[in-house]
Amino acid sequence: MVGVPGRSKGCNTCIQRKVKCDQGKPTCGNCAKAKRICGGYQRKTGWVFSSDVELPVREANALTANANSVICHGRWTNKQSKQSKSRHGQRQSSSLSPKEEELGTGMSHYTFVIDDSATPSPLSSPSPIQAISNLSAQWEQLRNAFIGMYLPDTLFISSRRVDGVTGNWLTELKGESIASKALETAVAACASVQVGQDKGDMMLISQGREIYQASLQHMRAALANSELRSTDATLAACMALSLYELFANRMGDDCMYEAHAKGAMALLQMRGPDSLQSPLAHSIFLGLRRQIVLNCLVKHEVMFINKGAWTAKPWGKYKKNSVDRCLDALYMLPPIQIMLDDARRETEPTKIRQLCLEVVSNCWKVDAFLQQWYEEVEKAHVGPMYWPVFSSTRGDHGKPNIFSTVFEFSHFSISYQLTTYWSGLYVTHEVLKKANEILAGLDPFQADEFNAAVKRSEETWMRHSRYVCQSHEFFMKRENGRAGLLVGLAMLKGCYYNFMDYPELCAEELAWVRFRIEENNRRLSMPL
């Protein structure tokens, strides 16, 4: 291997796979295309492959004293490989199966141990698990492990080509050194738990929990520092911690996820709408805006993110994309919902009628906005955006699926946009339905007219609610990553709150949604 161009000089992963390396820095393009963790180009690496041998802490500390070293503990589970004595006296693998040669495929247990001695945490004593370095190649490994399993394949590939800013804030972590221990450890925790779950590696999942605890300490230190508190990295770390809670949570409890999400919102509000001009900060803002819309609709709440300067200033540098324009329509709905709630609490018939008529008028404005949005998206798209296919899943306890046909989409982003659009329509027409029911009871002379309007809105509401349910199977596909599971879960929860007010009318749909939510929660903590 010595002196062979393109191989002996290649990254550790390509050398192990015995393929040509393009020697890209900080990581090679071959590994990125194959969605593999690039082993980097540093040769001072100690590997221990054994079922009962671990590197002593003293030796680990000696190796990590050199910033260019990485220690990996590995164990092959399915096949005993031939062993040969190294010149240092350690036994190393000399013959591996082709499957084992793929980094992260044959390896069941492996550990990132990276030095952090330059800036130890003031709140905890340093340990190998808590120590994460700033080395670019190592950061790229963790980042790729994180987003490779999180993002859908289409978004992962396109993120390497698109220069614009989207709501996928993970793609803005370009792999360069980031001087934020909170962010580095948060991403490392997510990477550990995701890879551990995918490989059935409880040791790696346990390590992820320890790194997560270290990240919480780094986050506390960052929040206590007036300068670090307002950085993009601290905001991104808060987002990564919320993702960890979703991935590592086996009980389906969203409390800690919501706590981190609220923390991110508080940091965002503290910074103000003028501070979101960097690609990372703007992407996090877009991501949060998409996440909290469900809470706003369920709780009938208008948040700061959709008031005053927040509706315009964050887009001073970047244009709104089609998703953001669709969300504009959804954020028009909470004030209308509040108006309907006021009408239902009101006792004066004249005031009730006035409020309900205003609700109806505003709902039709939202409907017109959404219809115009759909026409624009349809014109810009080449070919069909979605089409029906037969469902491949069963219902609860093996019962037939109540949705015998489901939707296939041309692209993950199209599926997200259309389900957001359908969600906006079913919320709009549910509000219309309720307002017209009140008006029908107030005016017996126009009752037939209002009841006909109720019937039309009910049909539209139910049709688009079912459209969202029929999209769920697409989000569950392996190639859509854990992002697909999270989007599918959010859409299901929206449908659940939508159906729960009508337990008799929507009994089948409610049972189906409950079953799918439980399935989604299990899938989040299982291999893809």
Which of 280, 314, 348 marks a domain boundary? 314
Q: Are residues 248 and 335 in the same domain?
A: no
Tell whether 121 is covered by a domain.
Answer: no
The packing angle between helices 232-248 and 202-224, to 10°, is 150
Which SS3 state, helix, strand or coil, does residue 407 take?
strand
Nearest-angstrom CA–CA distance, 231 and 252: 31
Q: Are residues 274 and 229 in the same domain?
A: yes
Q: Are residues 449 and 477 in the same domain?
A: yes
520 phi, psi to nearest 5 deg:
-60, -45
Q: Show Cβ contacts of residue 53 under 8 Å, excluding neighbours closer than 6 positions.
A: none
Neighbours of 439 (CB within 10 A): 23
Q: Are residues 234 and 206 in the same domain?
A: yes
Q: Are residues 308 and 420 in the same domain?
A: no
* Secondary structure, 3-state, 115-182: CCCCCCCCCCCCCCCCCCCCCHHHHHHHHHHHHHHHCCHHHHHHCCCCCCCCCCHHHHCCCCCCCCHH
Q: Are residues 247 and 190 in the same domain?
A: yes
pLDDT on residue 396: 62
CB 391 within 8 A of CB 405: yes
Which of 275, 293, 314 marks a domain boundary? 314
| Pick from 441, 462, 458, 459: nearest CA to 450 | 441
pLDDT on residue 91: 36
Tell whether 241 is covered by a domain.
Answer: yes
What DSSP designation does 282 have? H
Give me the sign of the Cα torsion angle 265, 267, 271, 275: negative
pLDDT on residue 172: 81
Nearest-angstrom CA–CA distance, 240 and 233: 10
Q: Show Cβ contacts of residue 44 under 8 Å, excluding neighbours closer than 6 positions.
A: 63, 66, 68, 69
Q: Are residues 251 and 336 in the same domain?
A: no
| Pick from 186, 43, 40, 13: nearest CA to 107 | 13
Count Cα atoms within 13 angstroms, Cβ side, for 406.
21
Please report which residue ranges of 225-301 form alpha helices under DSSP H.
Answer: 232-248, 255-271, 279-299
Nearest-angstrom CA–CA distance, 466 and 470: 6
Q: Are residues 325 and 310 in the same domain?
A: no
Partner residues linked to 374 by β-bridges:
none
pLDDT on residue 104: 35
Q: Are residues 485 and 368 in the same domain?
A: yes
- Give the total number of structural domains in the chain: 2
Q: Are residues 368 and 503 in the same domain?
A: yes
Q: Are residues 267 and 158 in the same domain?
A: yes
* H or E element at residue 190: helix 181-199
Tell whether 439 is covered by a domain.
Answer: yes
Tell whether 336 is covered by a domain.
Answer: yes
Which of 267, 289, 314 marks a domain boundary? 314
Written as one letter, the residue type at 78 is: N
Encode the chain (528 residues) as per-residue pLDDT tens digits. 444 444 467 888 888 888 888 888 777 888 888 777 777 776 543 333 333 444 444 444 443 343 333 333 333 333 333 333 333 444 333 333 333 333 333 333 333 333 333 333 333 333 433 344 433 455 567 667 777 777 776 665 444 444 456 678 887 876 555 678 898 888 888 888 888 887 778 888 888 888 899 999 999 999 999 889 999 999 999 999 988 888 776 555 667 888 888 899 999 999 999 988 888 899 999 999 998 999 999 999 999 998 889 988 999 888 888 999 999 999 999 999 999 999 999 999 999 999 999 999 999 999 999 999 999 999 999 999 999 999 988 766 666 678 989 999 999 999 999 999 999 999 999 999 999 999 999 988 889 999 999 999 999 999 999 999 999 999 999 888 888 888 999 999 999 999 998 988 899 999 999 999 988 888 876 555
Q: Are residues 425 and 505 in the same domain?
A: yes
Neighbours of 180 (CB within 10 A): 21
Tell whether 516 is covered by a domain.
Answer: yes
* H or E element at residue 525: none
| Pick from 54, 12, 57: nearest CA to 36 | 12
The range of the structural domain enclosing residue 475 comes to 320-524
Tell whether 37 is covered by a domain.
Answer: no
Neighbours of 114 (CB within 10 A): 23
Structure tokens that stand for 168 in this block = 């996928």
CA dihedral 444, 448, 451, 456 (to 10 degrees): -160
CA distances from 314 to 272, 301, 305, 311 (A): 9, 21, 10, 7
Tell whether 92 is covered by a domain.
Answer: no
Tell whether 243 is covered by a domain.
Answer: yes
Nearest-angstrom CA–CA distance, 524 and 385: 27
